[in-house]
């Protein structure tokens, strides 16, 4: 029997809510986060727990058929995946922030500056569109520390509550994109898998209607 393979974030902001959403959709699977591969008992679904940053690649390669991941990661990895459904949780924005006492009168102030980010593709594209030429420093985490240690003049990172910016003496000046958790799929799914995906999406939509 054909099964749909879904990739979820192993641990992080989206992991609990992703599993919760599937469970609310009536899909039963073992609740053991240490097992990286598991199966649902009442829906043809195989579940893989992966690092969120790796999910677009795994889906593009066909290791998984679909995945739940932040739209920001989907955009950054740029793997030509289809957004099958926006899931309405994990809402945040990808924003540029500067030291809180630094004057900032507009995007043009970033000309010639160094920007630290884990989202170099999105940021480069955005700056290009805005006609800004800045130096991008790719770092994979703790980006907010960069201005304080003299590594960058500004950062671009996810903001949810804003408390990480506040703690690090930064203020948000430009929103580059809005993000939330999305269900992504490979564009070339077999017919059987596309049908399973439709069933899954139908159930997820039912959960969201019931929640509202």
Binding site for ligand PRP (CB under 6 A): 12-13, 141, 144, 157-164
Question: Is 157 near Zn ion (CB under 5 A)?
Answer: no
Contact region for Zn ion (CB under 5 A) — 23-31, 50-58, 128-136, 151-159? 50-58
Q: Which residues is 158 bridged to in the sheet?
A: 94
**Distances from the Cα of 156 to the Cα of 118, 135, 140, 147, 191, angstroms:** 8, 12, 12, 11, 40
Radius of gyration over every alpha carbon of the chain, rounded to an integer in angstroms: 19
Q: Which residues is 132 bridged to in the sheet?
A: none
Closest CB to ligand PRP among residues 136, 194:
136
Q: Are 84 and 197 in contact (CB under 8 A)?
A: yes
Question: Is 52 near Zn ion (CB under 5 A)?
Answer: yes
Q: Taking the complex as a whole, how short is the minimal distance between the CB of residue 89 and ligand PRP, in angstroms?
A: 14
**Distances from the Cα of 98 to the Cα of 3, 21, 108, 132, angstroms:** 47, 36, 13, 16
Closest CB to ligand PRP among residues 13, 79:
13
Closest CB to ligand PRP among residues 42, 161:
161
Number of H helices and E strands in the chain, helices first, is 6, 11
Q: Which does 153 bind (CB under 5 to 8 A by kind): ligand PRP, Zn ion, none?
A: none
Q: Taking the complex as a whole, how short is the minimal distance between the CB of residue 169 and ligand PRP, in angstroms?
A: 13
Question: Is 54 near Zn ion (CB under 5 A)?
Answer: no
What is the total count of residues that contact Zn ion (CB under 5 A)?
2
Question: Is 153 near Zn ion (CB under 5 A)?
Answer: no
Short-list 212, 206, 193, CA closest to 65 = 193
Interface with Zn ion (CB under 5 A): 52-53
């Amino acid at each position: 029997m054909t099964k749909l393979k879904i990739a979820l974030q192993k641990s992080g902001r989206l992991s609990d809510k992703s599993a919760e959403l599937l469970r609310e959709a009536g899909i039963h699977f073992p609740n053991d986060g240490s097992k990286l591969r598991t199966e649902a008992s009442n829906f043809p679904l195989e579940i893989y727990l992966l690092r969120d940053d790796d999910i677009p690649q795994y889906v593009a390669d066909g290791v998984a058929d679909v995945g739940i991941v932040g739209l920001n990661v989907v955009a950054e990895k740029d793997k030509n995946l289809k957004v099958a459904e926006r899931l309405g949780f994990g809402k945040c924005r990808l924003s540029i922030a500067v030291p809180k006492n630094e004057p900032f009168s507009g995007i043009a102030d970033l000309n010639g500056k160094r920007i630290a980010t884990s989202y170099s593709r999105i940021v480069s594209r955005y700056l290009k569109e805005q006609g800004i030429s800045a130096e991008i420093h790719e770092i994979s985490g703790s980006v907010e520390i960069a201005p304080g240690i003299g590594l960058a003049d500004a950062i671009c990172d996810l903001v949810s509550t804003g408390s990480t910016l506040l703690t690090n003496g930064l203020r948000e000046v430009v929103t580059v994109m809005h993000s939330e958790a999305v269900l992504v799929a490979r564009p070339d799914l077999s017919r059987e898998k596309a049908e399973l995906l439709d069933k899954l999406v139908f159930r997820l939509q039912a959960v969201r209607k019931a929640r509202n």
